[in-house]
Chains A and B, each alone.
Chain A
Amino acid sequence: MMELRGLSKSYDGRSAIADLSLRVEDDEYLTLLGPSGSGKTTLLRLVAGLDLPEHGRISLNGQDITALPTYRRGLGFVQQNYALFPHMSVADNIAFGLRNRVESPVSDEQEVERRVAAMMDLVGLQGLGNRMVGQISGGQKQRVSLARTLITEPKVCLLDEPLGALDANLRERMTVELRNIRQSLGVTFFHVTGNESEALAMGDRMIVLDEGRAIQVAPPDEIFDRPATVRVAKFVNSYNILEGGVTDGVFVCGDLRLPVPDGGADTRYIAVRYDTPSFEAEGTDGAAGQAGLTATFLTSEFMGSRVVYFFRSEAGTVFEVERHLSRSDPETFTGGDRKRLGWPVSETLFFDGNGDRLVVTHARGAA
């Protein structure tokens, strides 16, 4: 188990990590979602020992490793650009740590060969051992980089945007494989990414990092369903966010009026998930417990299993609606069509002026 307590680090007076505390369990897949500039690279460098924090402690299984050099931390770091040694073959790259580490290097060449072969099998590089790293594809480089780190048996393996440089097809395959590799070794993966779908899909648990702070730590489904702050809702990229204020018990946003439940008096933001609204004819008045807005259809995007419709709402913002084709047939609109988009109030999220989610009670059975 790795624990970060009160970590802070700033560069040139600008805070990159601010009072960050976090607990990383054994044998878990932890993803960290952070937009660029959120401090995720800094955090990784602190954990990996490539930089020293100004405040705070890092401990691994009870041992303080804050000031230990990288190689004595028992951590592995898979770099974003793979950082493969260009003058060595695939097998030599993978064997580098075993042969050359300061602590208990493996000098028995047969042992090295056996372990390299086993690792190459695990990550799917069979038969490529003699290739130079310039002769293999991006996906294979990714595997070499991973194998090179995993062969040293780290307790926690840090992955810096491991899928960032791969094309979409390969990315999806590696997603599954990374999880399988992790499970078969029982090692903890700490996967840092700026891609929300990657973070949601891969993690057993997920951290959302914003401006150097962990603003939510929870299983991905919880982060997706109940983002703790309006920023998290933005990062998961699945919510329409309306900004306004409550006057006389009604949320006002431009020309738009929306009902607010009990406890929502401080509402500043309302978040409506892309897949909650349903299409209703213009002029339909919402039943009790329903909210909605009238919007002008702009365009739609066919995504294979789903269709995304873009509308311009009364508030002037773009409003997205997503329809999964397994649940309903696509509807065709022409540009300029006016539609009423309705949704149950109980399916929306309310955030106050600080961006924190409000706990609201919905009047049940009012309808």
Chain B
Amino acid sequence: MSLSETAGAKMADGGTEAPKQAFWVRNGHFLLLAPGVVWMILFLVIPLIMMVYVSFWTQTTFAIKSDLTTKSWVTFFASETYFGALLRTLRIWLTVLFFTLLIGYPTALFIGQFVRNKTVQTILLVACVIPFWTSFLIRVLAWRPMLGKEGAINIVLQKIGIISEPIEVLLFTELSVIIGMVQIYVVFMVGPIAFMLARIDESLIEAARDLGASAWTIFRKIIFPLSLPGVVVGAIFVSVMVLGEFATAAALSGRKVNLLGNIIVTQVGSLKWAFAAVVGVILTVVMAIVITTLLRVVNLRREL
């Protein structure tokens, strides 16, 4: 007899105690959710609501008042600097997403499909994570002696005589920010895709081959569609991290490339809470749209 049947039987007895007891028997398992729900309400839902609320507060140079106004919002969309930062963030995000996929997919394809030994697969995936054994800051700053005017790349290219003058666009430009981000985040693309690819049953590929399909058709019709959930998960990882980025941009652009994240940092630094909240709301909305769109691409619930 299941729990609910027990409860039903007690209810039928009609005792005064029975309904109360039955309620807890039926719904007691929801108590398991309580710690999580409390935590999320306190530290996610309330702060989100506060952020939206604060974004309408009145900001003066030295203080912030809770009088509602849309001034901060108007400033954001009217200002070339701030609206430009939104567009730049979107552009850099799309570029980084494109390159992480371009570099990550073939790598994942190799690990997931052409390495059949599970141990070697794991070793290769771990190897992808080795850069993470150093701190984020070192990984980012290490690009400076690499890309700088007198950095490794320029020296080597000059030594072998390909260029006579150092290439200056390598560092403290949007390019250096993109190079840095792609290097840091590509592994988040490789992992989920390699995982999905490794799960594809070898017999499916044999069956397709047996039915006369070429290697390219097999990739297009079987392997790629089946790896798509991995691509989407990887893209979500990369998107969430790149959209909220500020450190790489600050370190590799010499503060010339300002992303939404950098604006939040500076505004909070100068105690402009209302304006920082506006940028925060916009960033949250952008991320929500991006994730929803990506999830529309595949039905993750069905595929995973």
Contacts and interface: CB of A to CB of B under 8 A. Distances in A.
A48 interface: yes
Contact of B203 (A71, A81, A101): A81
Contacts of A162: none
Interface residues of A, number: 27
A85 B210 CA distance: 13
B226 interface: yes
A87 to B, nearest CB: 5
A152 interface: yes
B212 A149 contact: no
A77 interface: yes
B226 A87 contact: yes
A89 B213 CA distance: 18
A216 interface: no
B212 A97 contact: yes
A96 B211 contact: yes
A83 interface: yes
Given A83-B201, A86-B226, A96-B221, A101 B211 contact: yes
B265 to A, nearest CB: 43
A48 B210 contact: yes
Contacts of B122: none
Interface residues of B, number: 19
A85 B222 contact: yes
B211 A71 contact: yes
Contact of A83 (B203, B217, B225, B226): B203
Contacts of A48: 210
A101 B225 contact: no
Contact of A101 (B206, B213, B302): B213
Nearest to B221: A100
Which residue among B207, B210, B211 has the maximum number of chain A CB atoms within 10 Å of its CB? Answer: B210
A79 B201 CA distance: 12
Contacts of B302: 134
B221 to A, nearest CB: 6
A71 B209 contact: yes
A352 to B, nearest CB: 43
A105 B208 CA distance: 14
Nearest to B303: A87
30 contacts: A48-B210, A50-B206, A50-B210, A70-B209, A70-B210, A71-B210, A71-B211, A71-B212, A71-B213, A72-B212, A77-B207, A83-B201, A83-B204, A83-B206, A85-B204, A85-B221, A85-B222, A86-B204, A86-B226, A96-B208, A96-B211, A96-B213, A97-B211, A97-B212, A100-B211, A100-B212, A102-B212, A102-B213, A103-B212, A148-B211
Closest 3 CB pairs of A and B: A101-B212, A97-B211, A71-B212
